[in-house]
């Protein structure tokens, strides 16, 4: 039986991924801020076939609570097979530009808290000699853009940290997967006009499951964002700064 830990389990992508694991009979630990919401998700997952679905209330910015979550996750026999870090917010870039304190709080939620969790999870997985640490970053971290550079900078930090951690853990049996979604139609993006480049949470969740199964290092989801971001990252800076992206 596979044991899976999901942080930010109430997010749309995470919930869809949890349903895939439930259908496979996995045991799940769901962490997030809203215990009532997580309890409702857990009940649904049990109906869908999960061997177990436990809930752990967690504010990711309370770093002192990270170890308590991992203690609970590793309490059973056999360790943990997959840890998915899926928490995050989509901050108002203009508001963050006007309020440094808000900018730092949002950076902590989307960047620092994730890095702290990655470090703690990596120690556990390395000690057991197996497992996958999957973290949802974003294509926004590939290059800072005027529309969301606070969010993008946090995700860039996560991407860089994951890259270094993946290299450090090579040969230990632990895989570090960086997930880079593009536009995803979730409650967090309900105010955005949708178009051809938008994906559903279900499609992204299936992509995450495939990437974990194949022990991928980086997964752009959907796949075509790899090509889009190659173009964007190679635009010369004198031209790029004149664009509005």
> Cα separation of 109 and 111, whole Å?
6
Residue 110: CB atoms within 10 Å: 27
Query: Which string of DSSP letters, residue by residue, matches 75-124?
Result: SSTT--SEEEE-------HHHHHH-HHHHHHHHIIIIIHHHHHHHHHHHH
17 belongs to the catalytic site = no
Please compute, for residue 184, the number of CA atoms within 13 A of its CA located in the half-sphere on the CB side: 28
Which residue is associated with the tokens 């969301």?
A: 148
Count of all residues that appear for the chain in the document: 245
The strand pair at 82-85 and 131-136 is best described as parallel
Structure tokens at 157: 């930090």
17, 149, 151, 161: the catalytic one is 151
Residues acting as catalytic residues: 151
């Amino acid at each position: 039986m596979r044991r899976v830990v999901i942080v930010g389990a109430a997010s749309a992508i995470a919930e869809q991924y949890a349903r895939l694991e439930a259908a496979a009979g996995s045991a799940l630990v769901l962490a997030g801020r809203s215990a009532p919401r997580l309890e409702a998700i857990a009940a649904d997952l049990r109906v869908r076939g999960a061997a177990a679905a436990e809930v752990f209330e967690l504010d990711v910015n309370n770093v002192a609570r990270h170890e308590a979550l991992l203690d609970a996750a590793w309490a059973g026999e056999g360790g943990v097979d997959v840890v998915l870090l899926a928490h995050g917010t989509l901050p108002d870039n203009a508001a963050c530009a006007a309020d440094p304190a808000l900018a730092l709080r949002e950076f902590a939620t989307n960047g620092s808290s994730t890095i702290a969790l990655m470090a703690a999870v990596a120690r556990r997985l390395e000690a057991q000699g197996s497992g996958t640490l999957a973290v949802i970053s974003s294509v926004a971290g590939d290059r800072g853009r005027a529309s969301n550079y606070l969010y993008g900078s946090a995700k860039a930090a996560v991407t860089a940290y994951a890259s270094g951690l993946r290299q450090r853990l090579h040969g230990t049996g632990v895989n570090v997967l960086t997930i880079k979604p593009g536009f995803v139609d979730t409650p967090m993006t309900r105010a955005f006009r949708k178009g051809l480049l938008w994906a559903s949470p279900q499609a992204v969740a299936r992509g995450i499951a495939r990437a974990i199964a194949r022990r991928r290092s980086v997964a752009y989801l959907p796949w075509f964002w790899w090509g889009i971001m190659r173009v964007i990252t190679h635009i010369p800076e004198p031209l790029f700064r004149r664009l509005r992206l």
